[in-house]
Every structure is written in C-alpha cells, then in structure tokens.
Amino acid sequence: MRPYKEYIDNEILVTMAQMDKPSKIFDYLYLVSDCWASETLNKLHYRTIVGYILNVTREIDNFFPESFTYMNIRVYDVEATDLLSHWPDTFNFINTARYGQAVLVHCKMGVSRSASTVIAYAMKQQHWSLDVALTYVRERRPIVKPNEGFMKQLQTYSGILSARSGCKISVFHMIW
C-alpha cells in the first residue's frame, strides 16, 4: 500500500502545481483553473495580454467585470451537462478575442469543463480530429481529463464537424 500512497501523493502535487499556472494552448488562448484566474490575474503581466475570459462554471462569479469581456457558460461538471450546445457560441467568443487580446478559459479546476471547451475549439479552428486536439491540449496541460459525458459530446462534435466538412467538399465538387 505504501508505494501507491507515494504515487498518489506525487500525482496530487503535480496536479496542484499545474493548476497554479495558466497553460498556453495557442498564442491567444490560455486554459487555467479558477484559483489562478480569480486570485492573481489582476496582478500579473497577463492583465495586459488577456482581454477576454470564458468562465465555464455555474458556481464561480465573474470577478473582474469592469476589466474584462466575459462570457459565462453556467454549467456543472457532471456527465449529464450539455456543453455541446454552447460550443458554437464559445467558438465565436474565442475567435472574436483572438484578433485583439488573448482569451483565458477557466472552470473550477481547468481539467474538464473548460478543457472540453478548448478541445472543441481546437477541433473546429484547426480542423483536427478529437484525438489530435485532445493530445495537443494535453501536451500543454497534462491534467486535462474531460468527464465521460463530455468525451461523448466531443465525439459527437467530431462527427458533426466531419459531416460539415464532407458536405462542403461534396458541394464544391458538384460545382466544379
């Protein structure tokens, strides 16, 4: 039992350390936990970089409404939560932000809700598969772990994006 306890203790320390800092996903997109976003954002140089905050929680308020443009998706981190219906709006919000200042995306831990939203964004923006987007985001924030319900929605979203891509190609070929 002792080796498992040491392993678990180490994993907890690694996870806590990763939650304490923002993870740069793209030049204009950071993924963070609520702890980092609420306590230190106004004090650090990120204040001059970040102009937009996407808050993917029901339980956390927007702490600096006078300083940032917010979008709040009020959802809980439970498998039955519908994130998929919000992704078109979050995609547009992030894309609007990227042409001015960076956007910071957070939930409580920066692990499931916000991470799923960032993965969905990467899939659509970069035309990536779910596997490629998930791997890419995890390389930048190893603690990313969407819950099972969000993973199913990401798989559905992947199918939607693939179908839309296929429709565009088919229409293009029909025209030419």
CA–CA distance, 1 with 68 (Å, rounded to integer): 48
Half-sphere exposure of 50 (CA within 13 A, CB side): 28
CA–CA distance, 37 with 40 (Å, rounded to integer): 6
Please give the positions annotated as active site. Answer: 107
Distance separating the N- and C-terminal Cα atoms of the chain: 67
Distance of CA 22 to the CA centre of its chain: 12
Specify whether the CB–CB gap between 42 and 51 falls below 8 A: no
- Residue 32 parent element (H or E): strand 29-33
Structure tokens that stand for 46 in this block: 């990120």
Task: Using the structure block, give the residue that is written with the tokens 């490629």.
Answer: 132
